[in-house]
Amino acid sequence: MKDRLTERFCRYVRVHTSSDENSTTQPSTERQFDLAELLVKEMHEIGISDAAVDEKCNVTGHIPACEGCENAPAIGFIAHLDTVSDFCSRGTVPVLHYDYDGGDITLSESGRVLSPSEFPELYELKGRTVITSDGITVLGADDKAGIAEIITMADEIIKNDIPHGRICIAFTPDEEIGGGAQTLDLEAFGADFAFTADGDTEGTIEYENFNACSASVVFTGVNVHPGSAKDVMVNAACAAAEFNSMLPETETPRNTEGYEGFYHLVSMSGAVESAKLYYIVRDHDELKFAERKKVLNDIASELNGKYGDGTVKIEIKDSYRNMIEKIRPHMHLIEHAKEAIIKTGLVPSVKPVRGGTDGAQLSFRGLPCPNLGTGGHAFHGPYEYISVEGMESAAQILINIASGYAGFSPEEQRK
């Protein structure tokens, strides 16, 4: 299994599939079809006869339940086709580092060095085969590792006649820009429950994500000659700086972890006559999330009182919600995942997602969908890396989940 999994992963990352946050179409880039069509062909070759890609670049396929498992719930496994656009001007050149010695890894001719002093998870991978890019692009383990693990899981189950209920597989586009799961036809997909394979360390389970919104804050100033500006000039750029200074200094991404939320200033622009701040705001707790939005509105009101109505206009848009409320009624998903991980010889690690996942969107669309680790690290940059052994464990976990649900009854689902 290890060799086939490695070969698949390296083949997939060579395909350029970055999405485009400025596009208004789905998929946001036509190049995602290149990987989609390759996967359909491979799924046919391993015995998934109904594999197909639709006009929105959603790849789907199904493995029928084996004899005696027809009443088991249909379990879905989902990963995404796209990579981020940063550090992704072309397909990846994967580099395998065999029997990793625990030291620094020079990323080919890029001049970059992957060091355990900066990425301490590397210490745990000593002796393994580590895969990186050449340092020019992202590796693409997010989420081509998930794709390779799902395809390998399906191949192993079919070849070895491992007991299973109906298995539903999907690979979606544009996850990195928040659009992938919106057009997946859930009725045709046919899963009762699902898992995304889109996390980091193998053995990780994630079923809590941030509540999220964006805040666009526009400042309108009054620009007059500075020599006669007393009590008249309103400097929009200064008002924007004042707005940001009124937010809690310690509640930024740099200063938070775990379940702690934040305000993140993403971009800023401005001059005397006009300025703009753009934030993303995150919190796992729904009440604290609502309070964060109130803080933003209160600051805007205070500055309008100080400088005049209309000086500050704020627009807050909700992005996604914490999936935990949709997972709580189906905690068998988490228990099955834990059992599958233990059976693989690992210790389950349950942690919150400090971001969002396709699983959150799918959960709120009616398909409960926690997230599982794929073995990758340092996503979204040129230092991204993964180990072959980590991917192998992640693929085995998927096999264990699929086989574990084979005898799961409808009555147990309702508990």
User: Phi and psi at residue 318, in whole multiples of 5°?
Assistant: -70, 140
How would DSSP label each residue in 124-145? GGTTS-EEE--SSS---HHHHH
Query: Which of 82, 143, 149, 192 is flagged as catalytic?
Result: 82
Question: For residue 24, what are the CA distances in angstroms to 28, 179, 184, 320, 403?
Answer: 7, 10, 17, 19, 40
Q: How far is residue 242's CA from residue 246's CA, in Å, rounded to a whole number?
A: 6
User: Phi and psi at residue 87, in whole multiples of 5°?
Assistant: 50, 40
How would DSSP label each residue in 262-288? EEEEEEEEE-SSEEEEEEEEEESSHHH
Question: For residue 393, what are the CA distances in angstroms to 2, 150, 161, 343, 374?
Answer: 9, 12, 20, 10, 8
Is residue 389 annotated as a catalytic residue, yes or no?
A: no
Based on its alpha-carbon atoms, the radius of gyration of the chain, rounded to whole angstroms, reads 24
Query: Which of 42, 175, 176, 358 is flagged as catalytic?
Result: 175
402 within 8 A of 164, measured Cβ to Cβ? yes
Is residue 82 annotated as a catalytic residue, yes or no?
A: yes
3-class DSSP state of 92? coil
E strands in 28-185 = 52-53, 59-63, 75-80, 95-97, 105-106, 113-114, 130-132, 167-172
Question: For residue 100, what are the CA distances in angstroms to 104, 148, 405?
Answer: 10, 22, 36
Q: Is the peptide bond before 27 cis (omega within 30 degrees of 0)?
A: yes
* The two three-digit tokens of residue 348, written as one number: 């389950």
Side chain identity at 364, as an amino acid letter? F
Annotated catalytic residues are: 82, 175
